[in-house]
Amino acid sequence: MKGIVLAGGTATRLYPLTIVTNKHLLPIYDRPMIYYPIETLAGMGIREVMVVVGGKSVGDIVELLADGSAFGLELTYRYQSGALGIAHAIGLARDFVGDDAFCCVLGDNILRGRALADVAAEFEAGAFDAGTLLYQVPDPERFGVAEVDVHGRVVGFEEKPERPKSDLIPIGVYFLRPDAFEVIEGLAPSGRGELEITDVLNHYIPNGRLFTRIYDGHWTDAGTVPSLLRAAELAAADDAAGRLAPPTARPVG
């Protein structure tokens, strides 16, 4: 399985912190934000990762992560021009992915207390074509939202609805196979002008080809000032409990 980290976007919800820098370089407790999704993929046993960059400070991200050897990974990079959506960014990794299954993690997602190696292995070995992790949040209108039936099965996703149909969201961890690139090619931009990941996930629901699991660790995004603070508090709590390893990578040279 290969990995993708999405580290582009304009991060206007974090202004003025991101006026002159990429949000994925902001500190979350004792390390840059982008270390966390890198560590999430490494914890799955993934060793080949593409980082999709965009916006400001692209060179600083490359300088920080380098070739990935400090993380035990092989990193490559691809540039996304403009805020065109998560699905569009995933589509840029087509040649990198080849015929392999892959996992995409959003660069501002902080997952602690639960490794995902078993989930990745279950998806890769199974018959599902796409998958995601669900998490209960108090503010689902900020995210894509899962609609579930009376049996608890996901029957659809809606992107940032004014009236959410549940408090379950797909967090920014997506398991996919190469046929997802054909799905992405057939998408039309949403009203926001983006290719939405929820539309990709919805494609796999009718035939029972979508894999979902409730994430039972601790999760937050770090895309707003309040959630940036929550992310730091979560990482600090893990450190105090002895669950947070020292920063993986050290400066080179």
Tens of pLDDT, residues 63-90: 999 999 999 999 999 999 877 899 999 9
Q: Please give the average per-residue pLDDT across 13-25, as a whole number.
A: 94
Burial call 91-126: b when 16+ CB within 10 Å, e when fewer: bbbeebbeeebbbbbbbbbbbbeeebeebbeebbee
Cβ neighbours for 198, distance < 8 A, ≥ 6 positions apart: 144, 157, 158, 159, 170
Summarize pLDDT for 106-115 with one digit per residue, the tens.
999 999 988 8
Q: What is the pLDDT of residues 135-154, one digit of tens each?
A: 999 989 988 899 998 888 89
Domains of the chain from N-terminus onward: 2-240 (3.90.550.10)
pTM beyond cutoff 0.85: yes
Average pLDDT in the chain: 91
How does residue 241 score in pLDDT terms, banded at 50, 70 and 90?
low
State percent of the chain over pLDDT 90. Answer: 78
Pick from 234, 228, 3, 212: nearest CA to 105: 3
Length of the chain: 253
Q: Which of 79, 32, 25, 52 is nearest to 250 (CA)?
A: 32
The upper half-sphere exposure of residue 111, i.e. CA atoms within 13 Å in the direction of its Cβ, equals 25
CB atoms within 10 A of CB 89: 27
Q: Which amino acid is at 251?
A: P
pLDDT of 2 > 60? The answer is yes
The pLDDT of residue 246: 47
Mean pLDDT to the nearest integer, 121-134: 95
Q: What is the mean pLDDT of residues 223-247?
A: 81
Using pLDDT thresholds of 50, 70 and 90, give the confidence band for residue 10.
confident
With the CA atoms of 179, 181, 186 and 189 taken in that order, what torsion angle do they form, in degrees rounded to the nearest 10? 140
pLDDT score, position 55: 87
* Cα–chain center distance at 179: 19
